[in-house]
Amino acid sequence: MGKYRNWLGWIVFLLLIYFPIFLHLDTLSLRNWDEARRGVNAFEAAVHGHWIVTYFDGAPDMWGTKPPLLIWLQALFMKMLGYNELAVRLPVALAALATVLLLVWFAEKILYNPLIGFLAGLILVTSDGFIESHGAISGDFDGLLMLWITVYSLAFWRFTQIHQPEERQVWWYTFIAALVLAALTKGVAAFFPLPALLLFTWQQRQFKPLLQSPHTYLGAAIVLVCVAGFYLTREWLNPGFLQAVWGNELGGRYMQPLEGQGQAWYYYIWYLWTQKPFFPWIYLVPVGLIISLWQPGRWRSLGIFLLLEIAVVLAILSFSATKIRWYVLPLFPPFALLAALPLGQAYLWLMQQLRIDRRTWWAQGLLLIWLGLWFILPYRQGVQKVYAFEHHGFLRDEHLYRDFMRRNDQVKHYTIVHPNYSGHVIFYRKVFNQNGYDIRSQPMYAFQTKEKVPFGSHLLHFVSGDTVMVCETAARDSFLHYYPARSIQEWDNCRLLVVE
């Protein structure tokens, strides 16, 4: 009977995890900036074989300078699933699922408390900032980075807790492998938790043995060869790449605010506490931290480790001049473990007070229902978010092109005019052209210089009979100011116009 209950529990848990992460994953069109740009990078890799030097619209991408592990995965999925939204997002969604299952496995096999793992997994998928753009449901770097940082953090903590040489080596090289994968996902951001790991070894009085171990230097050499090998190879194939990395990721991004993302030093603390990306569980994190520090043995050690990791990463991010909200996503798994602890402890306390043992399965079921009540509202909100996906806000119009292009499947030759940079338009232009269309696109403003491209030049010159698609008011008004045209198709804010 116990075996069947375990299977039933796993089925229910996986179904609960499925809906927030995978429901309607491919419904929303690609978001204009990072996600669509990754989609174009992956398209170029899959179609043209640009695997080391990532390309964007036919040229080396010197703005998106992250390593290409995510791009490789997306390109492989494109070869299997086609050039679509699912191929772009599925690698990150699977990484989010792997993160949840890792927390369950870690709690059961290492902490000997599977309930904490299940609670942590549910807490993670019911956090608003997890089911969000740049999170589990978006084809961006951060969800994949979160997985690798979680793997190498937990592997390193486990490495410090055991003494058998063979097992220590397994955990050490698991840490090294995950660190390499994290670095090949998002470059320097992969190394932010490392100072916390070194502080923890010092607190555990293992810093000197770590320095004396030959495996430390072999592991460092593996990381150096793999990571530096990629950067030097790309520089050799694409001169000027390292300078672009410095300007976009290292000195430039850290020392000065880029892309209008300058904030006060306390921005991340304010964001976590007031904007509620980890609501409502953020209020349980301090409680879980206090409980863990009071616990003897491995929970106290893990509490110290997670406290150091959270504090160090927040400090590094806070001292950066460029601050973006999704940079804190790798902290969500540690938050989830800490937030799960008070709920798990409350469950055990009630078991003891009510004198419930494992044979009274119905009483345990009632307590589990009580735990489930905590998740009803956040789970419902998360599922509602993905159930009726649509773009909102002032950027909504720049994401309408895909749907309008699908509605005009009989018209296969036209030019899309859009006001500014649009990775969204470029991705769908390439996908449709791959299927027999002849679509061009042209922004009214140059992406880097912000200079206006005037109508009537060779770039934006149209003659009678040309067909033009516009979905943004600025592009439509400017175009109609210079060219008389009649509308042959309208939908929402989009127009398909024929020049007269």
**Average pLDDT per block of 10 residues along the chain, 500 residues long:** 71 94 94 93 96 94 92 98 97 98 96 94 95 91 97 97 93 98 96 96 93 96 97 96 85 56 78 89 95 90 97 92 88 97 90 71 76 91 83 83 93 93 95 95 75 67 92 90 92 94
* Cα-based torsion angle of the residue sequence 235, 239, 242, 246 in order, rounded to the nearest 10 degrees: -160
CA distance 485 to 487: 7
CA distance 18 to 94: 10
pLDDT score recorded for residue 364: 73
CA nearest 28: which of 92, 86, 95?
A: 86
Amino acid at 426: I
CA distance 300 to 302: 5
Q: What separation in angstroms does the CA of 372 have from each of 84, 369, 391, 453? A: 36, 5, 31, 57
- The CA-to-CA distance between both ends of the chain, in Å, stands at 76
* Cα-based torsion angle of the residue sequence 149, 380, 74, 192 in order, rounded to the nearest 10 degrees: -20
The pLDDT tens digits for 353-362 are: 777 766 666 6
Question: From the centroid of its chain, how far is CA 334?
Answer: 16
| C-beta separation of 302 from 157 below 8 A | yes
CA nearest 59: which of 85, 83, 37, 91?
A: 37
Contacting residues for 35 by C-beta, under 8 A, at least 6 apart: 88, 89, 133, 138, 139, 140, 423
The pLDDT tens digits for 224-263 are: 999 999 999 999 999 999 998 888 777 655 555 555 455 7
